[in-house]
Structure 1
């Protein structure tokens, strides 16, 4: 029998005094949080690498594909976020709709997604800091900073500082996000204004570069899984390159997922969440596509393969002063992305701890700051380690596959809950069910299968480790299992103490 947790019990557990978070975020703050985590890596980091390696100028189509898939998935998230407004995002939604095992799988998956995603952005942040300091004649040693660093010290330091900010509480986090998000948006606007003055149409030709066959040897691991299924697709350029580029940059739209994981900290979440989610997706999609068009028009896509493509394009056209200003905005922007991704990561971990799928000790919330410090610090240190050890591309791809799988689960959960609990009050309902969830699932699966084979191997290894942990710990200690065992023991005791019936004559 599949263990499920009721919506009422989920909300009641979140309201316990020792684990309750503070509802301190209004619609504007929540929207800015979404924009703060969404507008960042996709513009300042991944645009260049995805264009150079996978899609060329057609990266704008990759962003458009990602935007369509994101909008459909966001509709499903919005229904859940307004119905079950507690921490945990896809993990919580899976628990109430599809059961404990699926919830564990998606929770374990989200830890991978947000850890790797935060690490990828922190690596890009380090490159922007290195370039920014270099523009003033301060050059950090390549062994401790930059894409070839043995130990990426700036990236590790920013992760640890942001961990301390998160430990200080949601109000401190929201204030820091507000300031840095406005700086980031101003930097994006300045880039667009300057960039349109340096466009060269030749850089957009061909708009969709011809596909390249994979080389022999180890590079076969870099082919998308679709090619391994006999569809003859290559990861580099052409139509398949647009798909692979879409899968790579899809993580740029993950802000609404992080917002959903923070629904417990929103005031009047049944009204705040639908508004904030829809505004975030619309604003960010427009900004991403605009920047993709401009940056590939300024600089040929073959020269964008670096962790700081925006400032690199400005330097190439001689806009050195703008490069410095926008570099500072990018640093602020990427800082908010790392911070909010780590916030979402900690909320998922907190929800799993409340359900005792991981030790309940982690669910304790500090009585003054109302921050889950026992979760925040271990996860922050884990992100710092991943950032120090793995390159940006591996981090981004692992984060994206985890997110795409979680999106599929949420869409399945909406359809399941509609069948099993049709009378459950919903402040927002996803339109055209099951058409919208099914279409979202198809798009997410295509994008996931467009990721390199090596990414799938690493992902499956991570999930296998998670299933082992669930088997030996989670399934035996979960709150739902404890309630079932207590009920079974009570029934057995009642049966044993009941008077025996008189023997028949």
Structure 2
């Protein structure tokens, strides 16, 4: 009996493991969608710019410049922008491959597996909820400052203060109402929302132009050179810590990928919109930060109203009202971006069965997932009502950085995995048992597909180690090991920074070992053939080096986050695991595919007996040819219908 129980437990655990790692197959009609494909390249570009240029430039800049990086904030924005551009390029390639809502979630589902996809999707929901709520609180705070604190003082007088550490000083009713109002506006349809977003984003960019021009006109170079601490008062550590915080200012670019299912021509629009929007936003942030720190010494910056107070310092009081207009427009578009992306991510996960089915419904009239929009508006309004802005920003960063890391890793994995046929249909490896297609077995391009993920001739000396592995599996393992050792290196740089500076031998040896393993992983990856069977309009250049650098940068930013932020993230993940293992894993649309596969394979012995010496591989290939053609009964009965 104990042996039987162990066998049953082993079977159950094996089944759960295989279900957690099943990958999604995209339909051949990938452009078909119940959503409205009406967005052009201009709309999507302004959607990305509007989502990024908001609270980050009007609220975050002052805090980072005064307390973290000083004038070195321009390098913080440059580092954060460069790291985000690496991730954005990976998103752009996936957006070209897979024009579906869901962003990093759907990309991970296809390249790595269901469990990792759910983890990423769950964190994307957190990112957009907290992103919308934090911007709503910043919007409310800016309006309150225009009225000299009347709104906050009145609210505190009526409701009293909240004394919990995670909560804000008072319940922000205005921020709550802002979330509900903008969620209602998004319900009119995606094209109408895009027009409103484009107008507000244009106004915001004009205001940024005024701030930059006036700021440089009144610039004082002494504020960079002859102040306490000089240009880098917080040294390089402050620049890096500032970059980890400034990263928040760029997180909106994934809304571009989320719009893939509503883009007219996603294979063209998404990469163009990604590159253009990231370039404009990075340059804009650097120039605004430069103007701010040249106007006033960094230690005199008012973090609550950095730009208005800076211009008041040089007698330009009228700019205060221009900046306030731009701030409100910018925060509105950022809020629009988060509330635009959130219901579409929920919709994508519900369509796959990982979230509750009713969340996958789309309104016939507006072609918008209205139920998701209502739920999104209510949840973000409650978060904005109660929680503190600074805690929200930190909490959001973990999920965002994790998603960017997984997407960068997924680009490498898919580049070296033979999983595309001549029709661009995403399938499993040609040696896989679960997805052998007739076209792949017979098409002239199948030899090219089979070559992907195999060793190059010049690296044949690695054949004794990797030559017998399934195509692509060596690259998959190398990416995983590279990510683990990147995390170890970043943690060591954070924890043992002083020992490294002092040249302690053990720290140098350990860091050298980590770097050696990471370099070896990259060598193993480049020793294999890439998958060149798919002609994409955009591909990330210098693979695997740029995605690997993106992984390293994202992890470096993650280790700089507060330990309490990690604890809150763990609680959020526990809630997500309950939903996945109690609901998602059993209702996944991939469950139906696996069930039909099991029914087909139960008859393999009968088929083998009929065909005698036929190899097991040929049996499986024939079974799936029959399955693809719908001749399921003939297979089960062991009848040869050819």
What range describes the TM-score normalised by the shorter chain of this pair?
0.7 to 0.9
Provide the secondary structure at the position in 2 that maps to 1:262: helix
Q: Are residues 143 and 97 of structure 1, via their aligned partners in 2, closer, same or farther at CA, if it must alter by over 3 Å?
A: farther
Q: Are residues 319 and 110 of structure 1, via their aligned partners in 2, closer, same or farther at CA, if it must alter by over 3 Å?
A: same
Indicate whether 1:335 and 2:336 are aligned: no
Provide the secondary structure at the position in 2 that maps to 1:320: coil
| Maintained 8 Å contact 1:78/1:273 | yes
Which of the numbers 169, 190, 200 marks the counterpart of 1:180? 200
* Structure 1 residue aligned with 2:267: 270
1:242-253 equivalence runs, <5 A: 242-253=239-250
State the Cα distance separating 1:317 from its structure 2 match.
3.1
| Maintained 8 Å contact 1:45/1:307 | yes
State the Cα distance separating 1:175 from its structure 2 match.
1.1
| Maintained 8 Å contact 2:412/2:547 | yes
State the Cα distance separating 1:495 from its structure 2 match.
8.6
* Structure 2 residue aligned with 1:142: 153
Gap runs ≥5 in structure 2: 1-17, 162-166, 420-530, 607-632
State the structure with more CA Rg.
2
1:282-431 equivalence runs, <5 A: 282-304=279-301, 306-420=303-417, 421=419, 422=531, 423-431=533-541
Residues 104-153 of structure 1, C-alpha deviations (whole Å, 9 max, x = no match): 0000111111111222211111121122344xxx8324253899651112
Provide the secondary structure at the position in 2 that maps to 1:8: coil
* Structure 1 residue aligned with 2:630: none
Provide the secondary structure at the position in 1 that maps to 2:540: coil
Indicate whether 1:4 and 2:15 are aligned: no
State the Cα distance separating 1:492 from its structure 2 match.
5.0
Q: Are residues 262 and 499 of structure 1, via their aligned partners in 2, closer, same or farther at CA, if it must alter by over 3 Å?
A: closer
Q: Are residues 161 and 368 of structure 1, via their aligned partners in 2, closer, same or farther at CA, if it must alter by over 3 Å?
A: same
Provide the secondary structure at the position in 2 that maps to 1:7: coil
1:72-221 equivalence runs, <5 A: 72-134=86-148, 139-142=150-153, 144=155, 149-204=169-224, 205=227, 206-207=229-230, 209-210=232-233
| Maintained 8 Å contact 1:46/1:307 | no
Partners of 2:320 and 2:353 in 1: CA distance: 49
Provide the secondary structure at the position in 2 that maps to 1:140: helix
| Maintained 8 Å contact 1:142/1:148 | no
State the Cα distance separating 1:64 from its structure 2 match.
0.5
Q: Are residues 495 and 31 of structure 1, via their aligned partners in 2, closer, same or farther at CA, if it must alter by over 3 Å?
A: same
Partners of 2:176 and 2:299 in 1: CA distance: 29
Tell me which moved more, 140-149 or 45-54.
Answer: 140-149
* Structure 2 residue aligned with 1:231: none
Q: Are residues 115 and 464 of structure 1, via their aligned partners in 2, closer, same or farther at CA, if it must alter by over 3 Å?
A: same
Partners of 2:60 and 2:152 in 1: CA distance: 24
| Maintained 8 Å contact 1:117/1:400 | no
State the Cα distance separating 1:5 from its structure 2 match.
0.4
Q: Are residues 348 and 50 of structure 1, via their aligned partners in 2, closer, same or farther at CA, if it must alter by over 3 Å?
A: same
* Structure 2 residue aligned with 1:453: 563
| Maintained 8 Å contact 2:45/2:277 | yes
State the Cα distance separating 1:385 from its structure 2 match.
1.1
Provide the secondary structure at the position in 2 that maps to 1:383: helix
* Structure 1 residue aligned with 2:64: 50
Partners of 1:493 and 1:472 in 2: CA distance: 31
Partners of 2:50 and 2:85 in 1: CA distance: 18
Task: Number of aligned residue pairs: give it.
Answer: 467
Provide the secondary structure at the position in 1 that maps to 2:318: helix
| Maintained 8 Å contact 1:142/1:149 | no
State the Cα distance separating 1:70 from its structure 2 match.
1.4
Partners of 2:272 and 2:248 in 1: CA distance: 21
Partners of 1:500 and 1:194 in 2: CA distance: 81
**With structure 1 as the length reference, what TM-score do the two structures score?**
0.87
Partners of 2:261 and 2:71 in 1: CA distance: 40
| Maintained 8 Å contact 2:152/2:170 | no
Which of the numbers 8, 12, 15 marks the counterpart of 2:32? 15
| Maintained 8 Å contact 1:124/1:307 | no
Partners of 1:307 and 1:381 in 2: CA distance: 27
State the Cα distance separating 1:169 from its structure 2 match.
1.1
Residues 398-455 of structure 1, C-alpha deviations (whole Å, 9 max, x = no match): 1222111111000111111112232344221111111111011111111111122222
Tell me which moved more, 376-385 or 452-461.
Answer: 452-461
Q: Are residues 97 and 198 of structure 1, via their aligned partners in 2, closer, same or farther at CA, if it must alter by over 3 Å?
A: same
Partners of 2:310 and 2:59 in 1: CA distance: 12
Tell me which moved more, 95-104 or 300-309.
Answer: 300-309
Work out which structure has the larger RCO, using CA pairs closer than 8 Å and 6 or more positions apart in sequence: 1
State the Cα distance separating 1:381 from its structure 2 match.
1.1
